[in-house]
């Protein structure tokens, strides 16, 4: 039996419209994310995220630099939404998240972007930084379904999520891909202006896993449904890798698909905040891999058995 994205049955049962109505209601006194700005975005008021009533998009294109189960042969169909509900001082996409590179589009335009990416053969629609634009995404989805959308939706976020908003997405999103940036809430406050980030991310990831479970792949190794967690290694252990991996293994699942990322480089204002003013070392990355394995994580993106063996031997 061929795979059917979860949003199609939801639409066919007539339940999707109720989610849209509720999301737009929230938008009128916005609590879509934990910032709880309570501005009326339906009237163009803007809070921390600086986005009003319409979707705001920076770019849309097939992406081949994502996790292997998302990329496959034809790429992940990424839609980069403008601005963000986090304020990371080292953001590598700061031109989008902080400087606001992008334009307002209609909901029909957004639906057409999804259809265009599907027409190119992309394996999924990868909604990048969607948290503050959930209502607009939901509003565009029926239009896309009516135009033939039938590939998984990926919710690619920073982990600073409202559980109430995530519940609106139950049965809509097939693949959740949150960051878990920090194991220490004080570090999160200092570098992302995100109070209680660690507690909020834990609750959000639990809800995501409740909805979609561990990552499921098809016979080609392409993701169909489930949870992927990203964790960016920061200099001098600032990401709190031990705490993050322990939580995932013990409170989510040791079979969680985890991408421990080594691409940190000092961007935006990071040079003002040592030790974030340098790249990570090979030893720091290998220590993060070792910690993940020690804590019981079994599925690491892009890490083969030979590399694992070398890391373990290097730490004996």
Q: Which residues of the chain have pLDDT under 70?
A: 1, 305-316
Q: Give the SS3 label for residue 219.
A: coil
Q: What is the pLDDT of residues 258-270, one digit of tens each?
A: 999 999 999 999 9
Closest CA to 131 of 190, 170, 82, 59: 82
- Enter the pTM of the model: 0.96
Q: What is the pLDDT of residues 145-162, one digit of tens each?
A: 999 999 999 999 999 999
Note the pLDDT of residue 302.
85
Q: Which domains does the chain have, with CATH numbers?
A: 7-314 (3.20.20.70)
297, 258 in Cβ contact below 8 A? yes
What secondary structure letter does DSSP report for 165?
H
Note the pLDDT of residue 303.
82
CA atoms within 13 A on the CB side of 169: 30
Alpha-carbon distances of 76 from 66, 143, 202, 262, rounded to whole Å: 7, 21, 26, 20
Residues in the chain: 316
Note the pLDDT of residue 193.
98
- Residue written as tokens 């700061």? 94
Which H, E and C letters describe 86-141, residue by residue? Answer: CCCCCCCCHHHHCCCCCEECCHHHHHHHHHHHHHCCCCCEEEECCHHHHHHHHHHH
Token pair recorded at residue 254: 């040791």
Note the pLDDT of residue 267.
97
């Amino acid at each position: 039996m061929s795979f059917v994205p979860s949003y199609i049955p939801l639409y066919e049962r007539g339940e999707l419209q109720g989610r849209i109505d509720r999301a737009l209601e929230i938008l009128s006194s916005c609590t879509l994310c934990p910032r709880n700005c309570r501005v009326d975005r339906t009237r163009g008021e803007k809070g921390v995220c600086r986005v009003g009533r319409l979707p705001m998009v920076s770019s849309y294109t097939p992406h081949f630099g994502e996790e292997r189960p998302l990329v496959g042969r034809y790429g992940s169909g990424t839609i980069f939404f403008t601005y963000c509900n986090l304020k990371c001082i080292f953001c590598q996409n700061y031109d989008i998240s902080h400087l606001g590179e992008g334009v307002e589009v209609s909901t029909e335009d957004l639906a057409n972007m999804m259809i265009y990416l599907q027409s190119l053969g992309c394996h999924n629609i990868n909604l990048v930084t969607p948290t503050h634009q959930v209502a607009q995404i939901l509003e565009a989805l029926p239009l896309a379904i009516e135009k033939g959308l039938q590939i998984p939706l990926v919710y690619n976020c920073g982990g600073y999520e409202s559980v109430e908003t995530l519940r609106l997405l139950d049965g809509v999103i097939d693949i959740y891909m949150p960051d878990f940036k920090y194991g220490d809430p004080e570090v999160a406050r200092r570098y992302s202006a995100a109070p209680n980030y660690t507690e909020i991310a834990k609750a959000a990831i639990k809800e995501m896993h409740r909805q979609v479970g561990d990552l499921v792949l098809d016979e080609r190794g392409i993701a169909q449904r489930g949870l992927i967690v990203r964790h960016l290694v920061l200099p001098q252990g600032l990401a709190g890798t031990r705490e993050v991996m322990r939580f995932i293994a013990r409170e989510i699942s040791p079979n969680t698909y985890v991408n421990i990322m080594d691409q940190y480089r000092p961007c935006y204002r990071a040079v003002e905040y040592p030790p974030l003013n340098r790249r990570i070392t090979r030893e720091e990355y290998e220590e993060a891999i070792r910690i993940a394995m020690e804590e019981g994580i079994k599925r690491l993106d892009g890490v083969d058995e030979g590399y694992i063996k070398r890391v373990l031997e290097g730490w004996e």
